[in-house]
Amino acid sequence: MIHSPITLTHPTGILRGSVNLPASKSESNRAQIINALSGGASTLNNLSEANDTKVITRLLESTAEELNAEDAGTVMRFMTAYLAVTNQHKIITGTARMQQRPIKVLVDALRQLGAKIEYLGQEGYPPLQFNGIDRQQDYPATLQVRGDISSQYISALIMVAPLFPQGLTLELQGKIGSRPYILMTLSLMKHFGVKGTFDGTTITIPPQNYHVNQYTIESDWSGASYWYSMVALAPEATVELKGLRSESFQGDSVIATIMEHLGVRTTYVGGEVILTKSDRLEPFRFDFTDCPDLAQTIAVVAAAKGIAVELTGLESLRIKETDRIAALQQELAKIGGDLEDKGEGLFRVKPATSIGGNPVFKTYEDHRMAMALAPLALLTPVTIEEPEVVKKSYPGFWRDLEQLSFIVEKVEEGKEE
């Protein structure tokens, strides 16, 4: 584990090689909750090594009265629903930042369904105390839930929905964010025997039982996005990414389409994706409502390549591991770029004007900030603070960079500029 800042460089800028991507933590965490709800007898292959997945594994196996979700929003939300419906009497907490991330929408919904949940700190935020569930309560079979909040709330509810005697119908109110993640959850539920429908803005899950099955977790398309970024910025590149499917449950597979505008060509060969450069470079506008985790990657690449990309659908970025919009604005300024807020949900990337001079980038305890900024090392030496944050989703990221000839050097204490 790298705890001190690192400096990244690349001697040639030419990328050639293969990358064994980490498994998807999004699939892994959903599959683990579903497996636990079905009795834990299913076989899950290629589970993610991401810290989030290690945390959810530990919590599902724990007999302790207090559980620590650390900084994992997915874990906090999925475990909240799981602990509620399995009639447990436990506490769940997390890091200081996690205790600032809202969970009221999910708790309100679970309370309507009979769960006894108390806030131990600020109302609407973790930590939470679970005091069982009232199975005798005449609970509503239909709930109205905001669609413009984190899709993890919705996924948490629909995974536990078949355990209720009448099942559960969710009517999503307003704009629906991260729809592909909801579809991923429904697809994995179907693989384990639970069928539901998603018609317009209504999700219906009848009462039924999960079945034991096997599943192999796909490689992580979110992790793949950083290699797309590197290919876009390298003068020459051919990179093979292993373990990806052309027909993926993961919404972030749309990175292949987005990066066509930024000079990256995608070729599917068996279970691999081959990335090469193309001459296509053009301004474009994209709605990131369904794939917010890609926004940082695209903003950095667009700024570095001097392309004025317009981004919408960034509302959820304010409540991630950090305020990702503010963080991007701060760090892009170090290379003369910006993510300009044009009002009414529209942001425009201002092209960078001063790439060079070994900029020192902060990561804000956010794994995606570290990985989105790292590809700039193909253009100029860069220093990354708190590089260990990548453990959240891609623990081997710095090692993989070294395998494709990046030079990763620890900054000696007192030497950082």
- The set of catalytic residues is 293
Spatial CA neighbour of 117 closest among 151, 87, 96: 87
What is the rounded distance in angstroms from the CA atom of residue 362 to the CA atom of residue 369?
A: 8
What is the rounded distance in angstroms from the CA atom of residue 273 to the CA atom of residue 155?
A: 28
Residue 25 known to bind ligand: yes
Residue 150 known to bind ligand: yes
Sign of the alpha-carbon dihedral angle for 243, 247, 253, 254: positive
Residue 178 known to bind ligand: yes
Residue 348 known to bind ligand: no
**Could you give the angle at the alpha carbon of 321 between the alpha carbons of 8 and 108, nearest 5°?**
165
Phi, psi of 102, rounded to the nearest 5 degrees: -65, 150
Residue 138 known to bind ligand: no
Residue 18 known to bind ligand: no
The answer to whether 182 touches 8, Cβ cutoff 8 Å, is no
- One DSSP character per residue, 150-208 reads -HHHHHHHHHHGGGSTT-EEEEEESSPP-HHHHHHHHHHHHHTT---EEETTEEEE-S-
The answer to whether 207 touches 167, Cβ cutoff 8 Å, is yes
What is the rounded distance in angstroms from the CA atom of residue 313 to the CA atom of residue 288?
A: 5
The answer to whether 201 touches 147, Cβ cutoff 8 Å, is yes
What is the rounded distance in angstroms from the CA atom of residue 366 to the CA atom of residue 374?
A: 13
Residue 293 known to bind ligand: yes
C-alpha count within 13 angstroms, C-beta hemisphere, residue 150: 22
Spatial CA neighbour of 47 closest among 39, 63, 58: 58
Residue 190 known to bind ligand: no
Spatial CA neighbour of 23 closest among 2, 42, 44, 1: 44
Q: How far is Cα of residue 178 from the mean position of the Cα atoms in its chain?
A: 11
Residue 175 known to bind ligand: no
Residue 280 known to bind ligand: no
Residue 97 known to bind ligand: no
The answer to whether 297 touches 303, Cβ cutoff 8 Å, is no
Residue 279 known to bind ligand: no
Residue 341 known to bind ligand: no
Residue 24 known to bind ligand: no
Peptide bond into 283 cis (omega under 30): no
C-alpha count within 13 angstroms, C-beta hemisphere, residue 107: 20
Binding-site positions read 25-26, 30, 73, 101, 150-152, 178, 293, 320, 324, 368, 392
Annotated binding site for phosphoenolpyruvate: 25, 73, 101, 152, 324, 368, 392
What residues are designated binding site for 3-phosphoshikimate? 25-26, 30, 150-152, 178, 293, 320
